[in-house]
A and B are shown apart, each in its own frame.
Chain A
Amino acid sequence: DGGITQSPKYLFRKEGQNVTLSCEQNLNHDAMYWYRQDPGQGLRLIYYSQIVNDFQKGDIAEGYSVSREKKESFPLTVTSAQKNPTAFYLCASRRWGDSNQPQHFGDGTRLSIL
């Protein structure tokens, strides 16, 4: 089945540690996105990528990094510089070229601090 796979489902980070969240899609979508979701708040955009080897900062990029070496994959690294990383992280993708297309989401990774 086509879809977006995020792994792991749960992740724990120690102080000073970088952790990487995986996002893979087999929808042949060009654009991919990372969002952070906190309780009682809407989704906030961390990074997005329109094409391979290109990505842009979203609204809350500080403390995060991404790469886009393959069309199917858009991993997110939460660095030690992110002082409040506990959140639910969501990856999304959509076709590019037409702004009137919905983003489709994976089932998220919940990151907690040890």
Chain B
Amino acid sequence: GESVGLHLPTLSVQEGDNSIINCAYSNSASDYFIWYKQESGKGPQFIIDIRSNMDKRQGQRVTVLLNKTVKHLSLQIAATQPGDSAVYFCAENGGSNYKLTFGKGTLLTVNP
């Protein structure tokens, strides 16, 4: 079936390095993608989104890249800080107007 998945379940980086978190999706109908950050014991926090008519979008210290050819999404975090340590989820809409499908998440650990 259609699914959203992540290549790496855990990622450990040094403070100040750049982080890249990857996500593969298989539903070709998806035209909207979101990255969320979830800290322990809290709800997911919206980071950035991208529509399928774009291949790159930048926010504050974050960049999302979308490669529709290979159905791949990535989140780049520049100058990673200890406060960035969390689980990061990607989500895609599968062409739906109401529903999101979530990946299982990648745990990012930032070492001081």
State yes or no: do A and B come from one complex: yes
Interface residues of A (CB under 8 A from B): 4, 6, 31, 40-43, 45, 48, 50, 58, 90, 92, 99-100, 102-108, 110
Closest 8 CB pairs of A and B: A105-B43, A42-B102, A99-B97, A43-B102, A107-B43, A102-B46, A100-B32, A105-B44
B104→A103 contact, CB < 8 A: no
Beyond known contacts A42-B4, A99-B98: 11 more, CB 8 A cutoff:
A6-B43, A41-B104, A42-B103, A50-B98, A99-B97, A100-B32, A100-B49, A102-B49, A103-B34, A108-B42, A108-B43
Residue among B45, B97, B103 making CB contact with A105, cutoff 8 Å: B45
CA distance A62 to B32 in the complex (A): 28
Question: Is B89's CB under 8 angstroms from A90's CB?
Answer: no
Q: Is the interface of A mostly helix, strand, loop or mixed?
A: loop
CA distance A48 to B98 in the complex (A): 9
List chain A residues, Cβ under 8 A from B46: 102-104
- Find chain B residues with CB under 8 A from A43 CB: 44, 89, 100, 102
Minimum CB–CB distance for B95 against chain A, Å? 9
Residues of B within 8 A of A42 (CB): 4, 89, 101-105
Bound-complex Cα distance A43 to B36 (A): 12
**What is the CA–CA distance of A92 and B99 in the complex, to the nearest angstrom?**
11
B residues less than 8 Å from A31 (CB atoms): 98
A64 to B99 alpha-carbon distance, docked (Å): 18
Please, which residues of chain A bring their CB within 8 A of the CB of B36?
Answer: 105
